[in-house]
């Protein structure tokens, strides 16, 4: 009888241990890290960029829904919404924040000095106040820069190559862009170097854009340079359609403009830049500190010509210019 009772107690103990062990094991399982994605525009505007971030994560061994999760916040172009969204992500105790624009990165920096932040920016990260140094940022921010405002001179040169006999080149810039002064300086210096006469109009809304293109028509401009700007990117039709209607060859910053009907685009390959950002997020998830990760500059650029639109507005693209393009849309 005693042996029977002892055996029952042993089995009960063993059974209890068998139940307790999985519970303990589950309790010790690591918590899945969470990435907070802070977008300035909208989900539809950032589809390809998000896909590129996921690609960078996958190549580093992180699969969304498998061993990492992503929480998304989109400001829909409204800067005032960013502080609230950052606060939500910080309170959610995300492992790292990916700030997908300069303004998103600045909002994130103001909100936290402890949560690691990986940014993508078209601005100079030092000049904009995101980091103190490029090689060793030293704080909780690092990321990828593609220096969009500094590319206006290159775009102006390509436009001149397209229409070398144009007496006047129109320029459209957004005065509310934080880097408007840099763009203005870049364009003026480039026009002087090329010996070009330019006419600059500023616009930050649909009404002003319409007025600007009316002014370009009155000035008999031969072509138009549309400056790099998030608002123009989100509202591409507003700066593409009037140029086509006025038969003005135009150059823009990213390939999405040329794909949507703009004559030319020259700028960073955004998908590559965001893939780099995904890689940096992965490195932080693996334990590296943003303070030690140098800000990297996106080094892949592309020049796209929409030959279909050029023909539509009776612009003949010089063969040597077509030969320099990374892609020609027929």
Q: What is the distance between the alpha carbons of residues 187 and 229, in angstroms, rounded to a whole number?
A: 14
pTM of structure: 0.81
Residue 314 has pLDDT above 70, yes or no: yes
Q: What is the pLDDT of residues 219-253, one digit of tens each?
A: 999 999 999 988 898 899 999 999 999 999 999 99
Considering only 21-25, 58-62, 176-180, 258-262, which range has the smallest mean pLDDT? Answer: 21-25
Task: Compute the chain's Rg from CA coordinates.
Answer: 26
Q: How far is CA 84 from CA 36, 88, 114, in A?
A: 13, 6, 17
Tell me what pLDDT residue 149 has: 59
Q: How far is CA 78 from CA 101, 196, 325, in A?
A: 12, 36, 35
Q: What is the pLDDT of residues 54-79, one digit of tens each?
A: 999 999 999 999 999 999 999 998 88
How much is the average pLDDT of 214-223? 97
Tell me what pLDDT residue 38 has: 98
Same topology for domains 34-147+269-300 and 149-267+302-329, yes or no?
yes
Q: What pLDDT band is residue 19 in, cutting at 50, 70 and 90?
A: very low
Q: What is the distance between the alpha carbons of residues 283 and 289, in angstroms, rounded to a whole number?
A: 8
Structural fold of domain 149-267+302-329:
Rossmann fold (3.40.50)
> Where do the structural domains in the chain lie, given as residue ranges?
34-147+269-300, 149-267+302-329
How much is the average pLDDT of 106-131? 94
Q: Which CATH architecture has domain 34-147+269-300?
A: 3-Layer(aba) Sandwich (3.40)
Q: What pLDDT band is residue 39 in, cutting at 50, 70 and 90?
A: very high
Residue of 26 and 285 predicted with greater confidence? 285
246, 265, 245: which is closest to 255 by C-alpha? 265
Helix (H) / strand (E) element for 240: namely helix 236-245
Residue 22 has pLDDT above 70, yes or no: no
Q: How far is CA 169 from CA 98, 128, 185, 225, in A?
A: 38, 29, 16, 7
Residue 11 has pLDDT above 70, yes or no: no
């Amino acid at each position: 009888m005693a042996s029977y009772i002892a055996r029952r107690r042993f089995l009960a103990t063993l059974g209890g241990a068998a139940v307790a062990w999985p519970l303990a094991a589950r309790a010790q399982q690591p918590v899945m890290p969470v990435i907070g994605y802070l977008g300035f525009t909208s989900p539809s505007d950032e589809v390809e960029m998000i896909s590129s971030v996921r690609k960078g994560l996958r190549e580093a061994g992180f699969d969304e829904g498998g061993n990492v999760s992503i929480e998304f916040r989109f400001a829909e172009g409204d800067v005032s919404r960013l502080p609230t969204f950052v606060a939500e992500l910080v309170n959610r105790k995300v492992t790292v924040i990916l700030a997908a624009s300069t303004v998103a990165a600045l909002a994130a920096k103001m909100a936290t000095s402890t949560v690691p932040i990986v940014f993508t920016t078209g601005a100079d990260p030092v000049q904009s106040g995101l980091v103190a140094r490029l090689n060793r940022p030293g704080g909780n921010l690092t990321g990828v820069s593609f220096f969009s405002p500094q590319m206006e001179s290159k775009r102006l040169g390509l436009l001149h190559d397209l229409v070398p006999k144009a007496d006047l080149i129109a320029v459209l810039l957004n005065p509310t862009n934080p880097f408007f002064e840099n763009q203005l300086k870049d364009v003026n210096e480039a026009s002087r170097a090329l010996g070009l006469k330019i006419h600059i109009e500023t616009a930050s809304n649909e009404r002003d854009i319409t007025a600007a293109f009316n002014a370009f028509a009155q000035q008999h401009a031969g072509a138009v340079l549309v400056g790099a700007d998030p608002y123009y990117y989100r509202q591409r039709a507003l700066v593409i359609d009037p140029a086509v209607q006025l038969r003005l060859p135009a150059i823009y910053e990213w390939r999405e403009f040329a794909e949507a009907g703009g004559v030319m685009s020259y700028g960073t390959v955004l998908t590559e830049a965001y893939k780099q950002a995904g890689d940096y997020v992965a490195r932080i998830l693996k334990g590296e500190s943003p303070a030690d990760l140098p800000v990297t500059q996106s080094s892949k650029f592309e020049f796209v010509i929409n030959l279909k639109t050029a023909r539509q507005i009776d612009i003949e693209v010089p063969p040597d210019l077509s030969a320099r393009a990374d892609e020609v849309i027929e």
